[in-house]
Structure 1
Amino acid sequence: MNIKSKAFPVAISARHVHVSEEDLQALFGPNATLTKDFDLSQPGQFAANERVSIEGPKGIIHNVRILGPVRAATQVEISRTDAMKLGVTPPLRQSGDIANSASIKLINQQQAIMIEQGVIIAQAHIHMTEEDAQALDVHNNELVSVVVESERPVTFHGVVVRVSNDFCLEMHIDTDEANAGFIQQQAQGRIVKTFS
């Protein structure tokens, strides 16, 4: 196998919500701001103290964390298992690509809003800087395969490379993907070949 030599951490991304300024105000009141609980691995990103419930036609999931900072559009990232519980059919997409995606209700105590699109299952991806991309011989938006070390080693295909000097090197997968491969936080991954 053509395994690239540099290993990188693999992070497990649980269900979460990104909110727009408008939706933040609608849910938490005028002049509401996100308050930081702790920093995330990607520079400038943080887990907020604020949480909401997400409700679909078949069920509801409580206590879903909001991540900051606010975004231009509200986006809800869930797993396929979550989608079945909620009764929604979100597409597999890159973060930010929410056109014609699934709808959901967001609830905070007595406040509730319906977002007509924004629910996705995030495609597995690797954040990296331009220097990392050069070292790994990959480019932005390239699809690669990644083998992840675990008790049940698994190779992920169609992993999106996302290159920006605002990022740090890390692969993100969802909880379904992690559970299938017995993958723990900060497992190590390596690119094995391009995927087409």
Structure 2
Amino acid sequence: MDKEELIKLVTKRVIEKIKDYDAYKVPIGVSNRHVHVSRQDLDILYGKGYELTKKADLKQPGQFASNETVTIRGPKGEFERVRILGPVRKQSQVEVSKTDSFRLGIRPLIKESGDLEGTPGLELIGPEGTVSLSSGTIVALRHIHMTPGQALAMGLKDKDMVEVEVFGERRGVFGDVLVRVSDQFALEMHVDVDEANAFSLSNGDHVVIRKSGKDCQSRFTIRERR
């Protein structure tokens, strides 16, 4: 192979690699501590019939950060002005980081949103009342939201677990990233503040779903979640 042919081959492979990254590139959303509330609990915290008011839309369709906040209190400490995300849910849920849990004095499990079995509770304190949750506090399992079309294009399905590669000054790999698929979602990977800081990630940064080394042309590092 002469020099010109070698340059063409290398250029071709670089272009293919760039296209490959673009196909599986996912934007990052960093989640700070926040609260989801039920209709019943919102009535206690802010008054009967109170409606959340929108501060800003979130990337996921229909989801928003509200102007309303609460204090979350654990056995050892508390955080004030923790934002409520809307709309209301069937069950109240508090999402914190592992670092937050030390100050609160609790031991939350790493869980998928909505899976609250066996989780510790907290006090939610609003301007009109206090709610004592017997359960519902989690460290959210890192996950990727995507549409069915995007999942199909990537060869993924709902509940798959993948590896995600981070580039930049703190390059590394996230393991055990849950894939969540719905036509109500927009493409985005959610990590908490601890995870974002460990990899020097900010909102809007991009990561890449990593392919398996065994067959880097067609296979991802994927396993089904049990």
2:145 corresponds to 1:136: no
CA deviation profile, 1:19-64 (whole Å, cap 9, x unmatched):
0000000100111111111100000000000000000011000110
SS in 2 for 1:178: helix
Please tell me the residue identity of whatever aligns with 2:123. Answer: K
Compute the displacement of 1:186 (Å).
Answer: 1.0
Compute the displacement of 1:151 (Å).
Answer: 1.7
Matched residue, 1:194: 221
Spell out structure 1 runs of 4+ moving beyond 4 A. Answer: none
2:172 corresponds to 1:154: yes
Instruction: Tell me how far apart the structure 2 counterparts of residues 53 and 12 of structure 1 sit (CA, whole Å).
Output: 21
**Does structure 2 conserve the Cα–Cα contact (< 8 Å) formed by 1:150 and 1:187?**
no
1:108 to 126, 131, 139: 126
**Does structure 2 conserve the Cα–Cα contact (< 8 Å) formed by 1:151 and 1:183?**
no
Instruction: Tell me how far apart the structure 2 counterparts of residues 44 and 148 of structure 1 sit (CA, whole Å).
Output: 28
TM-score by length of 2: 0.83
Instruction: Tell me how far apart the structure 2 counterparts of residues 150 and 73 of structure 1 sit (CA, whole Å).
Output: 38
SS in 2 for 1:102: coil
Matched residue, 1:181: 199
Which moved further from structure 2: 142-151 or 23-32?
Answer: 142-151
**Does structure 1 conserve the Cα–Cα contact (< 8 Å) formed by 2:160 and 2:179?**
yes
SS in 2 for 1:117: coil
Name the Cα RMSD after superposition.
Answer: 1.4
Query: Which structure's CA Rg is the greater one?
Result: 2
Compute the displacement of 1:195 (Å).
Answer: 4.6
More strand by share: 1
Unaligned runs of 5+ in 1: none
2:95 corresponds to 1:95: no
Please tell me the residue identity of whatever aligns with 2:26. Answer: F
CA deviation profile, 1:66-94 (whole Å, cap 9, x unmatched):
00000000000000000011001111000
Instruction: Tell me how far apart the structure 1 counterparts of residues 40 and 166 of structure 2 sit (CA, whole Å).
Output: 39
Call closer, same or farther: CA 1:49–1:143 in 2, change over 3 Å: same
**Does structure 1 conserve the Cα–Cα contact (< 8 Å) formed by 2:44 and 2:128?**
no
Compute the displacement of 1:154 (Å).
Answer: 2.0
1:125 to 143, 151, 170: 143
TM-score by length of 1: 0.96
Please tell me the residue identity of whatever aligns with 1:15. Answer: R
Instruction: Tell me how far apart the structure 2 counterparts of residues 110 and 18 of structure 1 sit (CA, whole Å).
Output: 17
- Aligned residue pairs total 195
Instruction: Tell me how far apart the structure 1 counterparts of residues 203 and 83 of structure 2 sit (CA, whole Å).
Output: 18
Unaligned runs of 5+ in 2: 1-16, 211-219
